[in-house]
Structure 1
Amino acid sequence: MNPVCDRLVYVLVSVFEDRESAQQLLRAIDAVQSDWGRIRVLLIDNGSIAEPIGKEDVRALNLGIDVEILTLSIDLGQQRAIAVGLATLAEREDAQVVVVMDGDGEDRPRDIPALANGVLAGTSEITVAGRGRRDDAMTMKALRWAYRKVFSVMTGETLPYGNFSAIGGRALRRIVLMEELWTHFPATLRRVGYPIDVIDFDRGHRYAGNSKYNLVSLTVHALRSFVPFSETVLARVLWACGIVTALSLGTLFVAATMKGLGYTEPGWLTVVAGAVLTIVLQVGAIALITLLIASTGRPWRNVTPTAIAKTFVADQVVVDAIFPPGASKHSRVVTK
């Protein structure tokens, strides 16, 4: 057994109306612990109504890991549910390594050791799962490529990863003080300040049911990734507006010069001036709207996760691991 695996690793999972996938995920995580190290799962039930996951659902699995179920009073959305979970763990002294992952099976539990070992060994404070092979449709691949290009141009950063990540205790207690965490966890990782190590993993397959995401929700999620970089986005939009305005006025100056030299037909300058005026007004409107969005459109502004996370917790229960007779609470269960 690798000596760094003797330390406790928390695995944070957010689920919504997906009991079957959550149960299969817990079994897979239990198998990882059997071969690797000590794991405790914090399962966030994000206000499920039709398929809530409760204590008996977990107890029936006879797991060798402790599972804590944190039930939220309402559906906050996945990103805010993750924020509540991280704020909860930040209050615990033993939460020095936290793995965040999706609960549908596309983040593979078998990749947890490779993801967390760098943080456990102290060589990395944040390690994320990069985008490996994915079985996506061509349309989705094209949209994802376009999003990455736009994100890079607008923010000057790259975001080649999702929620699947391992973070150390210092990064954990820093990120929960950032209001941007309410909006987009992966993008906020870029703002924490620690270097980010990226390890590419292939995408797994969903355990059961269909994804709750559609094109609209994915678009909203993508747009929210710009929020942690709103000041940078604002500055770049204003620079672009300034460049377009300067080029438009330059075009008008050239047109006026050509008119004065007699190189144009009657009425041509009027057409150019009208086009330039239209462009300048549109650019001005874009600049004004961008300014208003950046200054007033940030959700949960000035409210950090640590301040209000407990407000949304409706219930909190712990399902202890099933240990063989005579085993201590700190024994590692190995299933043969």
Structure 2
Amino acid sequence: MTLLDSDLHRSPSAIVLIPVFNDWEALERLLWSLDETFLDRDIRVDILIVDDASIAPAPTELKFFSFKAIERVNILELKRNLGHQRAIAIGLAYIAANLNCKVVVVMDGDGEDNPQDVPRLINCCQAESNAKVIFAKRTKRSETYLFKAFYLVYKLVYKLLTGHHIQVGNFSVIPYQLLSRIVVISEIWNHYAAGIMRARIPYTEIATKRSNRLFGRSKMNFVSLVTHGISSISVYADIVGTRLIISVSVVVLLILISLGGIVSIKLFTSLAIPGWTSIAVGILCSILMQAVMLSIVFALMILNTRNSYGFMLGQDYYYFVSKLKEVFSREVLSK
């Protein structure tokens, strides 16, 4: 895959990375909002849209737009649909391999990540001497009460299984100097934010409010949301497995103590044993066998996780890239 020579010699202040699947109407409005946000600021911005094998074609009228702050808009087309997390991972790998800038902004294309917060994230990154990833921590969400309830359950399960809190999504700013470290984190293939946290990349969070979609309705259904949650937990597979082994071991110990108590009463006392005791013992033995089997399965999963190499994003991303298409350039318009 070739790269335009001009890409190697120009260096915008920021590259905004936006994964998109069919949500072109919302994206157009987001680009206008971003352009207005950066218009009065001395920030050169390029946009890299990762088209996650959309069914609906990308709009052709972007080349006629008259952006004032946005220098260039490129679409990186993928060969197949991979999902937002993997589209982000491929976009980051592409930028690290082919482009240069000061910071990379990662945000969704539906407008729920408020463009007005982008300068705040960039300023925070500069205040941290470009040494930390800056995540937007959502203090107020715009979803339904049912979604919020499930989200609380997800955070509780995440905390119990991994031992960590998670209150951030994709919306973030990455210093370019950290990008080479991030694209070798195979875990971001499953979950971008959790992968960075698991790899102990320095990061901090700033409070933001989630905005409303700019157009249409979310295409995420309940199954997709559950899959997304499981993907974030899978980043900590070995820790989750270890915690489950400990939990199962505690259950096994309690079962053995219960069985020992029943046998002791039967052999060493004159107390009457109820008729249901034999049924209870059978149930406990069945649970014990299943607990032991689960422990073995978890142990094998941990060994497999620790002994196998993950997907090498930095060197393998291009297998999924179809082509890079320039859809807007101020340089072309000025000629």
- TM-score, length-normalised on structure 1? 0.87
Output the aligned Cα RMSD. Answer: 2.4
Q: Is the 8 A contact 2:238 2:301 kept in 1?
A: no
Q: Is the 8 A contact 1:256 1:269 kept in 2?
A: no
Q: Is the 8 A contact 1:252 1:272 kept in 2?
A: no
**Per the alignment, do residues 324 and 223 of structure 1 end up closer, same or farther by CA in structure 2, a change over 3 Å counting?**
closer
Query: CA–CA distance in 2 between the matches of 1:13 and 1:68?
Result: 10
Which deviates more from structure 2 when the two are superposed, residues 117-126 or residues 169-178? Answer: 117-126
Name the residue aligned to 1:330. Answer: none
Name the residue aligned to 1:25. Answer: 30
Q: Secondary structure of 1:132's match?
A: strand
Q: Does 1:321 align with 2:334?
A: no
Among candidates 53, 58, 73, match of residue 67 of structure 1? 73
Query: CA–CA distance in 1 between the matches of 2:325 and 2:12?
Result: 23
Letter in 1 for 2:86: R
Q: Is the 8 A contact 2:194 2:235 kept in 1?
A: yes
Name the residue aligned to 1:47. Answer: 53
**Per the alignment, do residues 27 and 323 of structure 1 end up closer, same or farther by CA in structure 2, a change over 3 Å counting?**
farther
Letter in 1 for 2:314: T
Name the residue aligned to 1:136. Answer: 143
Q: Is the 8 A contact 2:47 2:73 kept in 1?
A: yes
Gaps of 5+ in 1: 1-5, 327-336
Name the residue aligned to 1:308. Answer: 316
Identity %: 32
Q: Is the 8 A contact 2:15 2:101 kept in 1?
A: yes
Q: Secondary structure of 1:91's match?
A: helix
* Aligned 1:169-180 pairs, distance under 5 A: 169-180=176-187
Q: Aligned-pair distance for 1:259?
A: 2.2
Q: Secondary structure of 1:225's match?
A: helix
Q: Secondary structure of 1:216's match?
A: helix
Gaps of 5+ in 2: 1-10
Name the residue aligned to 2:39. Answer: 34
- TM-score, length-normalised on structure 2? 0.88
Q: Is the 8 A contact 1:124 1:197 kept in 2?
A: no
Letter in 2 for 1:320: S
Query: CA–CA distance in 2 between the matches of 1:95 and 1:228?
Result: 29
Q: Aligned-pair distance for 1:166?
A: 0.8
* Aligned 1:118-133 pairs, distance under 5 A: 118-121=124-127, 122=129, 124-133=131-140
Q: Secondary structure of 2:174's match?
A: strand
Q: Secondary structure of 1:115's match?
A: helix
Letter in 2 for 1:116: I
Name the residue aligned to 1:197. Answer: 204
Q: Aligned-pair distance for 1:124?
A: 4.5
Q: Is the 8 A contact 1:259 1:269 kept in 2?
A: no
Which deviates more from structure 2 when the two are superposed, residues 101-110 or residues 91-100? Answer: 91-100
Name the residue aligned to 1:286. Answer: 294
Between the two proteins, the alignment pairs up a number of residues equal to 318
Q: Does 1:222 align with 2:229?
A: yes
Query: CA–CA distance in 2 between the matches of 1:292 and 1:144?
Result: 30
Residue-by-residue CA offset, 1:261-310 (whole Å, 9 max, x unaligned): 12232545423321211221222333344445556689x96322112211
Q: Aligned-pair distance for 1:85?
A: 0.2
Q: Is the 8 A contact 1:63 1:322 kept in 2?
A: no
